Amino acid sequence: MRVGGEHFRAMSWCGGVGGSLQWIDQCQLPHRFILRDSRDAEAVASAIETMQVRGAPTIGAMAAFGLALAFITDRRRFESYWLPRFRQTRPTAANLFHACDAMESVATDATDEGMIHAACAYADSEVERCRKMGEHLAEVLAIGERRILTHCNAGWLATVDWGTALSGIYHLARAGEAPSVLVDETRPRLQGARLTAWELFQEGISCRIQADSAAAWMMAQGRVDAIVVGADRIAANGDVANKIGTYMLSLAAREHGIPMYVAAPESTFDLHCPAGAGIPIEKRSDDEVLMAHGVDSNDQEHLIRIATVGVGANNPAFDVTPNHLITAIISEKGLWKP
């Protein structure tokens, strides 16, 4: 997708076997557009953990490249250390494990060049899934549903390119439609305010940021035609794990008769997990809730406390939406009814 009119991916491989992995540091957005570059597998794993890169498909592709680097630089410990290392970086997103399994299967007979090729092919396949998914989603949203509410970031930053939930919106816009998007800020890390709104602005798509707690009232006022979110893992029965706050949206959507769509590639489906109760929910640092990060009018960064010293926090990163609250799941193969 575009940044200042130039095409970028959330991450990309630069050069041949002797090249390096380049990624957009999402922690710096929207104030600074910074590209990181490394051949160090540990730096790649750390980038996933610290959310320099985030979003289930992007995490998976990042892990694929990290494992390719681990194979090249430390092949002796590839199975004993590096595969477990990457599988432990983020526990909820199914794509991470899908990518690790894919790279493990290739590594048995692979060369250094073959591992890089496999990682590139994995990333390209995620992009193609998202492109097709967007076409299917746009067909659904084009039927009178152009005032769209979204939560967290399910755009190209989260999926290497195109996006999941936002892919349908991008397809609508490029077909000459004029979608408008209400962007939940998405506490506590503000992926909606920092990332989704930035993406939509770069593409020239009308959007407004709102507090998460405003969503139900906007539905009640008749100002939302559809809700579209991504997913980090989908259980075999259609229960969906996504960014914390998604379950709350689904309850309000059901009350007000608003369709609730989930967009996700098949790499997000976990058929080994029967239902949402079996999905591990990542718990993150209290500081994400108790502190706030931003820049002042002089472009100086600050991390400030917004809560009383000594008070702890509850910070689950995801929740699970039961399948009966979901109108449909859209993958690269079309529309699925739970």
As a whole number of Å, the end-to-end CA separation of the chain is 31
Verify that 170 and 94 share a domain, yes or no.
no
Question: What pLDDT sits at residue 326?
Answer: 97
Question: What pLDDT sits at residue 167?
Answer: 98
Question: What pLDDT sits at residue 91?
Answer: 87
- Using the 3D structure, point to which of 96, 127, 158 is the last residue of a domain: 127
Question: What pLDDT sits at residue 338?
Answer: 64
Verify that 82 and 220 share a domain, yes or no.
no
Query: What span, in angstroms and rounded, lies between the C-alpha atoms of 272 and 172?
Result: 34
- Tell me which residue of 327, 267, 330, 269 sits closest to 139, measured CA to CA: 330
Question: What pLDDT sits at residue 200?
Answer: 97
Active-site residues, by number, are 232
Verify that 226 and 158 share a domain, yes or no.
yes
Question: What pLDDT sits at residue 23?
Answer: 98
Count H helices and E strands in the chain, helices first.
12, 18
84: domain CATH number? Answer: 1.20.120.420
Domain count, the chain: 2
Verify that 215 and 327 share a domain, yes or no.
yes
Verify that 119 and 143 share a domain, yes or no.
no
Verify that 290 and 171 share a domain, yes or no.
yes
Question: What pLDDT sits at residue 247?
Answer: 98
Verify that 49 and 123 share a domain, yes or no.
yes
Enumerate residue ranges in the chain where pLDDT < 70.
Answer: 338
- Using the 3D structure, point to which of 94, 127, 160 is the last residue of a domain: 127
Verify that 245 and 332 share a domain, yes or no.
yes
153: domain CATH number? Answer: 3.40.50.10470
- Tell me which residue of 56, 43, 45 sits closest to 84, measured CA to CA: 45
Residue 18, number of CB atoms within 10 A of its CB: 9
Verify that 14 and 145 share a domain, yes or no.
no
Verify that 248 and 298 share a domain, yes or no.
yes
- Using the 3D structure, point to which of 60, 94, 127 is the last residue of a domain: 127
Verify that 192 and 121 share a domain, yes or no.
no
Parent domain of 77: 2-127
Query: What span, in angstroms and rounded, lies between the C-alpha atoms of 274 and 237?
Result: 6
Verify that 200 and 119 share a domain, yes or no.
no
